[in-house]
A and B are shown apart, each in its own frame.
Chain A
Amino acid sequence: MATPPRALWMGFMQSAERFPERTAVVVEGMSISYRQLRETAIRVAATIQRYQKDSWTPLTAVFAHRSATGFTGVLGTLLAGNGYVPLNRTFPVARTRLMLERSQCRSMIMDAASLPQLDALLDGDNRQLLLIAPDLEDPRCYRERWPQHIFVGSRDLEGHAAWREPTLASDAIAYLLFTSGSTGAPKGVMVTHRNVTSFVDYVADRLEFTERDIVSQMFDLTFDLSAFDIFVSWERGACVCCPSQKTLINPGQFIRGHALTVWFSVPSTVSLLKQSGLLKPGGFPSLRLSLFCGEPLPVSCAEAWLRAAPNSILENLYGPTELTIACTSYRWHPERSPGESELDIVPIGFPHRGMNVLVADESLNEVNPGAEGELLMNGPQMSLGYWRDSERTSSAFVVPPGRKDIFYRTGDRVRRPTGDGPLTHLGRIDSQVKILGHRVELGEVEAVVRQTSGRDGVVAIGWPATSSGYGGIEVFVEGQSLDVNRLRSAIASRLPDYMVPRRWHVLSRLPRNVNGKFDRKALLAILGDGQ
């Protein structure tokens, strides 16, 4: 029989015992101690347990955005024995509704600012739902509006004594996170307690987190990297510092104002800070760790960041949601790393403890050392697959020829290391396009444009589509005006003609998706509009 996993809430509860008065979270201008957060979360958990029926899916939606209730909701859900499903009021409400319906959650925790979307979210949903609004003292008007649902406000939360510590099944889900699917419909990735605790144990040890750390939370709950900030910090009694939407305008002020010791963001934040003149040498002396993940980290961004945060160790993390937060890491070394980087991008490094790497060709056979291929991985961080979608699960989670175990196909192109070198990321499998019969890696074009223009924000796109691939390449560059003619001739001396971008689009800021990554779909729409 499979042994039950260590529950994800255990780290928090142990820290709450050891450091009850230390700050667990700074959010909405408030400092919430471990003791305070434990008390409210237990009451929320007990409330879920009181109303939850055996027939309900063991998942609870957390509809909250950068609020105390978001943290209480996540912890309370876990303490109830459920997995949390983060929802985000800054998403289109139709998408949020689709996530709520697909997850089949019967309970939801909401913060005050998300309540105005309830009408659009619940209209026509005839299932009985448990709706917990800890920010709301008197939910009477909501009860009258939706008599079929159970509304619980702060006054009606159960007491601590009613909470029962749940027993977890070996594959219990810690969170169900929806990522965008290629069909346009979001798919829910089932990440278990075992997955996350494996990650947290390894990372908290390796990066030496302590109760003295003050950790940024730049990621919304709907981006799985937020689970790093929350659970690694709580494991060691550290403080998670969640900036408001307004504070995000000037992350530098945020770092200095809270004397952050750990920074974790997407690399795009670095290029934006550079452009707006906010990345000044020595500007962030309090940081001991600077972590980046979510998209390729250009060498120029790593170097500029380290000049601003000279006391910090910089690491580039890599990992799809399906492999739980991040599954490889690379520590920047000023002398060695530029030579280990490829296409001007910092390597993604080495697999986390217990994670196995397979770099494979199109038939999923392992390629030779030094050759390129698709990255497949398995190990304790590999998730269960997609929620109630066996078809998509079986196409992404596969047993390669000659292997016995299931591996997850990341869709990322990497170079298989030679010797004990790091993995280098070369782009997405689908970023390799055919231009006039030639196979072109768009990442290579982007690297050359970055180097020649000195700009970090660069996206190359195959355009227009033809029957055999694409007619050429168009490039988007972030920033102010460029001397395109000079750049074109500089690039023409380094790339074959078919790889030289035909048209250049200089935008003051490249569109980003909700997670802060460059939004290729939006750029394609710009090209489409221009036709």
Chain B
Amino acid sequence: MNSPTPDNVRVFVADFLNRKLKDRGQGPLSEVPDDYDVLLSGVLDSLAFVEMMMAAGEHFAGEIDFESLDPEKMTVVGPLCIFVSEQLRKRQ
């Protein structure tokens, strides 16, 4: 198990998105920049986003407090990775 650094969370997020794309018969993302919005890009819907957050908790053996999540900001990769990393480190 990796430590939940922002970089490791980003690897996890990219992998999750690419698995979703593969399920739909689409190719992987060439890059996942900081300003990439996982929801507005259409790769995830809101339920799949929650699924990704729960999977991150399971992968890094931590917990994410959904209540403190700001939906307007947290679907953008840069802030998302920092938020998840902070949450998981707090609750590992």
Contact = CB atoms under 8 A, between A and B. Distances in A.
Contacts of A272: 47, 50
Contacts of A480: 54, 58
Interface string B34-77: 00000110100111111101110010000001110101101100
A246 B72 CA distance: 6
Chain A contact residues: over half helix, strand or loop, or mixed?
A: loop
Contacts of A246: 39, 46, 71-72, 75
B69 to A, nearest CB: 6
B66 A277 contact: yes
A10 B46 CA distance: 34
A245 interface: yes
Contact of B54 (A90, A247, A276): A276
A74 B45 CA distance: 24
A509 B45 contact: no
A527 interface: no
A418 interface: no
Given A508-B54, A508-B58, A252 B69 contact: no
A249 B70 CA distance: 9
Contacts of A509: 47-48, 50-51, 54-55
Contact of B49 (A90, A249, A253): A249
A50 interface: no
Nearest to B66: A276
Interface string A83-95: 0000000100000
A128 interface: no
Contacts of B71: 246-250, 253
A275 B54 contact: yes
Interface residues of A, number: 21
A276 B46 contact: no
Interface string A252-269: 110000000000000010
A518 to B, nearest CB: 11
A364 interface: no
Given A245-B39, A245-B46, A250 B51 contact: no
Chain B contact residues: over half helix, strand or loop, or mixed?
A: helix
A250 B69 contact: yes
Interface string A396-423: 0000000000000000000000000000
Nearest to B73: A246
A464 interface: no
A516 interface: yes
Interface string A269-308: 0001001111000000000000000000000000000000
A512 interface: yes
A508 B55 contact: yes
Interface in A435-467: none
Contact of A276 (B48, B50, B72): B50
Contacts of B75: 246, 249
Contacts of A512: 47
Nearest to B75: A246
Contacts of B50: 249, 272, 276, 509
B67 A245 contact: no
Contact of A516 (B39, B40, B47, B66): B47
Contacts of A249: 39, 46, 49-50, 69, 71, 74-75
Contacts of B48: 509
A474 to B, nearest CB: 19
Contacts of B49: 249
Query: Which of A248, A252, A508, A512 gathers the greatest number of chain B CB atoms within 10 Å?
Result: A508
A90 B45 contact: yes
Interface string A110-123: 00000000000000
Nearest to B74: A249
B47 A276 contact: no
A268 B67 CA distance: 19
Contacts of A268: 47
B67 A278 contact: yes
B66 A245 contact: no
Contacts of B65: 277
A530 to B, nearest CB: 14
A250 B50 CA distance: 9
A255 B65 CA distance: 18
A255 to B, nearest CB: 13
Contact of A252 (B42, B46, B58, B67): B67
A252 B71 CA distance: 11
Contact of B40 (A245, A250, A253, A276): A245
B55 A248 contact: no
B46 to A, nearest CB: 4
A272 B45 CA distance: 14
Interface in A485-512: 508-509, 512
Interface string A350-389: 0000000000000000000000000000000000000000
B75 to A, nearest CB: 6
Interface of B: 39-40, 42, 45-51, 53-55, 58, 65-67, 69, 71-72, 74-75
Given A90-B42, A246-B75, A509-B51, 9 more contacts: A249-B39, A249-B69, A249-B71, A249-B75, A252-B67, A277-B67, A481-B58, A509-B47, A512-B47
Closest 8 CB pairs of A and B: A509-B51, A248-B46, A246-B71, A249-B71, A508-B55, A276-B66, A249-B46, A508-B54
5 contacts: A246-B71, A247-B71, A276-B66, A508-B54, A509-B48
